[in-house]
A and B are shown apart, each in its own frame.
Chain A
Amino acid sequence: MSHATSLPLRPQPQSPSKARPINLRLLIPAGLLGVIVVIACLAPWISPYGPNSQDLSARLLPPLWQAGGSTKHLLGTDDLGRDILTRIMYGARVSLSIGAIAVICRMVSGVLIGLVAGYFGGPLLTFFMRLGDVQLALPTLVLAIGVIAALGPSTSNVILVLAITGWVLYARLVVSQVIVVRRQDYIASAQLLGASHCRIIFKHLLPNIIPSVIVFASLDLGLMMLTEGSLSFLGLGVQPPEPSWGGMAAGGRALISTAWWIATLPGAALVVTVALVNVLGEQLRDRLDPRLDATRSA
C-alpha cells in the first residue's frame, strides 16, 4: 500500500461561487465514461456474439484494419474464435462493477470507522490507527496473494481483499478531518442541547467530510480497476472463461508475437477507462476540494 502526494492542477479558485460556467474538462471525460458505462450495460444487445461463444472456423482473425481482417469481427478473434470486441464489452461490466463495489466497500467501512473512532477518540482511535499501520506495511497485492492463497481465487474474494486493504486510507482521511471539526463550537452546542452521539456523527460530522471523501473515492476508483485488472491477470481474480480485461491479457500473452491483439486490446480498454476516471477525479478535486492531497495506493 502506498501513497503519493500530488498537488492540485490549478490554483484554488478565487471565488468558489456556485454559478460557474460549464466546465468542458469535466463534461468531456464524464460523457465518454458515460458512453463506456452504457456500452457495458447494453453489451448483450449490441453484440451479435456471446462472450464465450466459440467459432473454431474463425480462429485468430486479426482486427479489421489488418490484412485478413473481417467486418464480422471488428477487433479480431482469439485462439478459440471468440470475438474480442464482444469480450471487451463484457469485460467492461466486470471491471466497472468490481471497481465500483470495491470502492463502495472501502469507503463505507473506512468512513464509518473513521467517524466513530475520530469522534470518540481514546483507545478506540489508537486501536484502529495502529491496526491501519500494520496493514499499510503489507502492500495490497502481497496481502491479496496471502488471502487468496488461503481462500481461493474468486470474484467475491477480490472484492473482499480490496475492501480490507483500503478502509485504512479512508479512515485516516476522515479521522484527520473529524478531529478538527469536533472541536468547533457548534458541535459543543449540539452536545449541550442533548443531541445523541449518533445524531452528532451523522448530522453534523458526516456532511463536513463528504466532499473530500467523494474526491478521494473518485481517485481511488481508477486504482481499484487497475488492481482488479492486475489480480485477474495474475489468475487471482475473475476466473476464465468469464471475460475480464486482466484475464484476457493473461490468456493472450503466449500468442503475443503471432496475434498481438488478443493480449493488448483488452488492456488498452482498461487504460482508456482508467485514464478517463482519473481525469474526472482530478477535475472533481479541483472543484470540490482543491486542498486535498490525493493519497493513492497500488
Chain B
Amino acid sequence: MRSRFINRLAFSVLVMLGVSAITFLLMFLAGDPAALLASEDATAAEVEAIRKAYGFDRPIVVQYLDWLWHAVQGDLGVSYQSRRPALELILHALPNTLLLIACALALSVSTGVIVGVLAATFRGSRFDRLVITGSVFVQSLPSFWLGIVMILIFSATLRLLPTSGFRGPSYLILPAVTLATFQVGTFARMVRSSMLEVLDSDFVRTARAKGASAGSIVFGHALPNAALPIITVVGLELGGLYGGAVVTETVFGWPGVNTLALSAITSRDMPVIQAFVLVVGILVVITNLVIDMLYTILDPRTRGAR
C-alpha cells in the first residue's frame, strides 16, 4: 500500500508541474508581457527597458524555472491593478469559495444519497422513474438561470433571502442550493445504480435468506458497500463544482476567488489570473490525491492490488 501512495504522490507532483507550466504559458498567450506592463503611450525603447528589467528577454525555459522557483516560495508576482501580491489576493478570497463549495457538496451528496437509496429500494416504482427523469432535467439546468430564478422567487417576490454578498449564514443558502442542484442528479443516479448492484449481490441474498429486516439490509449491508463509489464520483465532480462556483459566485455577488478572477480579466491582470489558475489546479490535484488515498484505506479490496 505504501508504494501505491508514493506512486500517487509522485504522479500528483508531476501533474502539478504540468499545471504550473500551463499557468506560466498563459502569460505569453496574452501577447508581449513587456508591452502589457508598459503604459499605453510607451516608446519602443521604454518597452525594451521593461523587457530587460523584468527579464522577459531570457530564454523561455529559464524564465519558467525562475517563475517556478518564485512560485514555490509563494511569490506569483504583483497585481497590476492593486499592486498587492497576487497570491495574497487569491488566498484572501479562497475561504469564501471553499465554504460555498463545501456546503454545496454536503447538500448534494446528502440529497443524492437519500434519493438514490429510495429509488433503488423501490426499483421500478413511480418514484424511481421520477428520479431518473428528474436527474436528466436537473442536468439541463444552467447555474446562471437557476440562480436568477431563485433570486426572482426567494428574494424579489417572497423577500425571504438576501440576493448578493456575504454578511451572514442566510446569504449562503441560495448560492449553495444553486451550486448543489447540478450535482444532485449525478449523485442520485450513481447511488441508485451502485445500490442496485449491491442489492443483487449474493451476500444481500444471504442476508435476506437469514431473515434480516429490510432496513438492516438497506442500511446495514447494502449502503456501506454502495457508498464507496460515491467517494470516487465526488472526486470526479470536483472540477464541475469549481466551474459551477464561477457562475454561482457571479450571480450572487459572492466574494470568492472566481469573482476576483473575473474582475481581473477586464484589466488583463495576468498575475492574479495566473495565481487563480494555479491555486485551483493544485487544489483539484490535492483533493483527488486525498480521495484516492481515502478510497485505498476504506476499500479492503484495493489493499493487495497496485
Q: List residues of A whose CB falls within 8 A of some B CB.
A: 1-7, 9, 130-131, 133-143, 145-151, 153, 222, 226, 229-230, 233-236, 246, 249-250, 253, 256-257, 260, 263-264, 267-268, 270-271, 274-275, 277-279, 282, 296-298
Also in contact, A6 and B190, with CB within 8 A (given A141-B247, A150-B26, A150-B270):
yes
- Is B145 within 8 A of A298, CB to CB? no
| Chain A neighbourhood of B30, CB < 8 A | 149-151
| Chain B neighbourhood of A249, CB < 8 A | 144-145, 148
| Those 9 A-B pairs whose CB atoms lie nearest each other, nearest first | A267-B145, A134-B18, A298-B240, A2-B240, A7-B193, A4-B186, A150-B30, A141-B243, A2-B239
CA distance A4 to B108 in the complex (A): 13
- Chain B, interface SS category: helix
Q: Is B15 an interface residue (CB 8 A)?
A: yes
Q: Is B136 an interface residue (CB 8 A)?
A: yes
| Chain A neighbourhood of B243, CB < 8 A | 1-2, 139-142, 230, 298
Ordered by A's residue number, 10 sampled pairs between the chains whose C-beta atoms are within 8 Å are A2-B238, A130-B14, A133-B18, A142-B280, A145-B262, A150-B27, A222-B139, A230-B142, A271-B140, A296-B139
Contact of B19 among A134, A145, A149, A279 (CB under 8 A): A134
Interface centre among A3, A136, A137 (most CB of B within 10 A): A137
Q: Kindly provide the distance from the CB of B151 to the nearest chain A CB, expressed in whole angstroms.
A: 6
Interface centre among B186, B240, B243 (most CB of A within 10 A): B243
- Is A268 within 8 A of B244, CB to CB? no
| Chain B neighbourhood of A271, CB < 8 A | 140-142, 145
- Chain A, interface SS category: helix
Those of B12-26 within 8 Å (CB) of chain A = 14-16, 18-19, 21-23, 26
| Chain B neighbourhood of A138, CB < 8 A | 19, 22, 239, 277, 280-281, 284
Q: Kindly provide the distance from the CB of A242 to the nearest chain B CB, expressed in whole angstroms.
A: 18
- Is A136 within 8 A of B26, CB to CB? no
CA distance A134 to B288 in the complex (A): 12
Contact of B142 among A137, A143, A229 (CB under 8 A): A229
Interface code B10-51, partner A: CB below 8 Å = 1, 0 otherwise?
010011101101110011011100000000000000000000
